[in-house]
Structure 1
Amino acid sequence: MNHDRSLARTAGILYLVTFATSIPALALETPLLEHGVHPEFAIWGALLEIMLAFACVGTAVALLPITRRYSEPLAVGFVVSRTLEASLILVGVLCVMTLTSLRTAGVDAMSTLHGWTFLLGPGVMPAVNALLLGTVVLRARLVPAVIPIVGLIGAPILLASSLGTLFGAWTQTSAVAGLAALPVALWELSLGLWLTFTGVRTNGMPAPAAVPLPQRVS
């Protein structure tokens, strides 16, 4: 129980780190990405995004020993999807670091590449994460049901918004895209706060009993 509590607190803190890094990173990188100015700010944004990528993977790794008791495919799938999200974030970091060297030449091309990685990483993958982790957390009743339900409702909304961006219906920074991202953001923030300060429920669905291995007859 104490081990689960420690794992849950670690995951919760890492979830909060993703918020503390992603929002200022975008603000620091936007002047360079949109106007080709202030590369010195973008460098700090890139460093924050590196922290964000590691925190993303950390949330899944910390929860894996708990969530795999209830659904190993979903638990492992969440680790994979989080790792893929972190990889896309790091591709965006490479774009930003390249832009700081190019300054003006090639800004449009690299900004476009960063935009696509931003759409696939922070745009699409959090929806996949919510579907995987939200399902196992809800089934196991590890946290109050309303928390994963918000994520499961928000996931298809975010995916639809990303699809709209892909086909040019609106931009990633539009009001429509911002509103569509709110439910998943609320799910991740509330999950992070709950895990940090409360942990996982111990009176939820019991973990599946371990299947004994056949004994070797000598």
Structure 2
Amino acid sequence: MATYRRPGALAGAMYLLTHVTSVGAVVLYGTMLTDEAWGEGGGSALPQQLGALLDVVLAVAIVGTAVALYPHVRRRSQTGAIAYVGLRTLEAGVAAVGAVMVMAAVQMRDVGQADVAAGLVETYTWAFFVGPGLVVGVHTVVLAAVLRRHALVPQWITWLGLVGAPLVTASNLLIFFGLQDQVSVTASLAAVPIFAWEISLALFLILKGLRLRAPDADAQEVAAPGGPVASRV
């Protein structure tokens, strides 16, 4: 089966970049996210500033995944392609706002406003949880469903997304209502399938690209009565 590798490789690279930047930002934020007394301390703000910069790069990479895939997913599902771009843009917007909150928290700490700094950090944590934490399950289902229906990637990859999305959404809802800790074994296990989905999809797109059917199959689909409508999801 033919593939279209270049846009797939770009999207795959953007997916990997989202993981590198998101993990890197959390590492750099360090005690800002785990120590309630962080706002009362001193020291260099460089790690938090670099972490905020990584969150900005994360936002760009999130949008990049959707933009790179859009023209090719649109050929199979215009609705799905638009929905994916919109949801990823929402996720990216929260990431960018999070970077602003971190920089504001650093500024408040530097001028001795520990309570304000702590409030900004808490807002950052919940913004990321409510934003990307809950949006990820929705946009994963949207993309995985389109990719599966039109066999653009191997079916086992799409099943990782279709299974992982409800699991991570349910886990995040339990945290949202105070029924589960954000850092727990069950929360970590619930995130494994969705993590495997994104990594597997990224590597396949980089190494193989998007699968495409033969041009004559596409022509027959368009020529058939109701073809263009039937090809939409």
Q: Do they superpose with TM above 0.5? A: yes
Question: Quick one: which amino acid aligns to residue 74 of structure 2?
Answer: R
Q: 1:76 — aligned with what?
A: 82
Distance 1:32 1:146, change over 3 A: same
**1:51 and 2:54 aligned:** no
Are the counterparts in 2 of residues 161 and 180 from structure 1 also a CA contact under 8 Å?
yes
Instruction: Please give the alpha-carbon distance, in whole angstroms, between the structure 2 residues aligned to 1:204 and 1:189.
Output: 27
Q: 2:222 — aligned with what?
A: 209
Question: Quick one: which amino acid aligns to residue 87 of structure 1?
Answer: G
1:15-54 CA distance string (max 9 Å, x none): 1111111111111113123321553211111111111110
Q: After TM superposition, give the deviation of residue 163 of structure 1 in Å.
A: 0.6
1:122-170 CA distance string (max 9 Å, x none): 3112111211100100011011000011001011111101110111112
Are the counterparts in 2 of residues 140 and 204 from structure 1 also a CA contact under 8 Å?
no
- Aligned identity (percent) is 38
Map 1:169-208 → 2, pairs under 5 A:
169-203=179-213, 206-207=217-218, 208=221
Are the counterparts in 2 of residues 86 and 121 from structure 1 also a CA contact under 8 Å?
no
Give SS of 1:201's match.
strand
After TM superposition, the score normalised by the length of structure 1 is 0.89
**1:90 and 2:96 aligned:** yes
After TM superposition, the score normalised by the length of structure 2 is 0.84
Q: 1:167 — aligned with what?
A: 177
Instruction: Please give the alpha-carbon distance, in whole angstroms, between the structure 2 residues aligned to 1:86 and 1:169.
Output: 27
What RMSD in Å do the two structures reach over aligned CA positions? 2.3
Q: 2:231 — aligned with what?
A: none
Uncovered stretches (5+) of structure 2, i.e. residues with no partner: 227-233
Q: 1:216 — aligned with what?
A: none
Instruction: Please give the alpha-carbon distance, in whole angstroms, between the structure 1 residues aligned to 2:82 and 2:66.
Output: 9
**Comparing 167-176 with 180-189, which one deviates more in the overlay?**
167-176
Q: After TM superposition, give the deviation of residue 180 of structure 1 in Å.
A: 1.2
Instruction: Please give the alpha-carbon distance, in whole angstroms, between the structure 2 residues aligned to 1:71 and 1:59.
Output: 16
Question: Quick one: which amino acid aligns to residue 179 of structure 1?
Answer: L
Instruction: Please give the alpha-carbon distance, in whole angstroms, between the structure 1 residues aligned to 2:104 and 2:4.
Output: 41
Instruction: Please give the alpha-carbon distance, in whole angstroms, between the structure 1 residues aligned to 2:83 and 2:212.
Output: 23
Q: 2:229 — aligned with what?
A: none
Uncovered stretches (5+) of structure 1, i.e. residues with no partner: 212-218
Question: Quick one: which amino acid aligns to residue 166 of structure 1?
Answer: F
Instruction: Please give the alpha-carbon distance, in whole angstroms, between the structure 2 residues aligned to 1:92 and 1:166.
Output: 18
**1:34 and 2:40 aligned:** no
**Comparing 18-27 with 120-129, which one deviates more in the overlay?**
120-129
Match of 2:70 among 64, 69, 75: 64
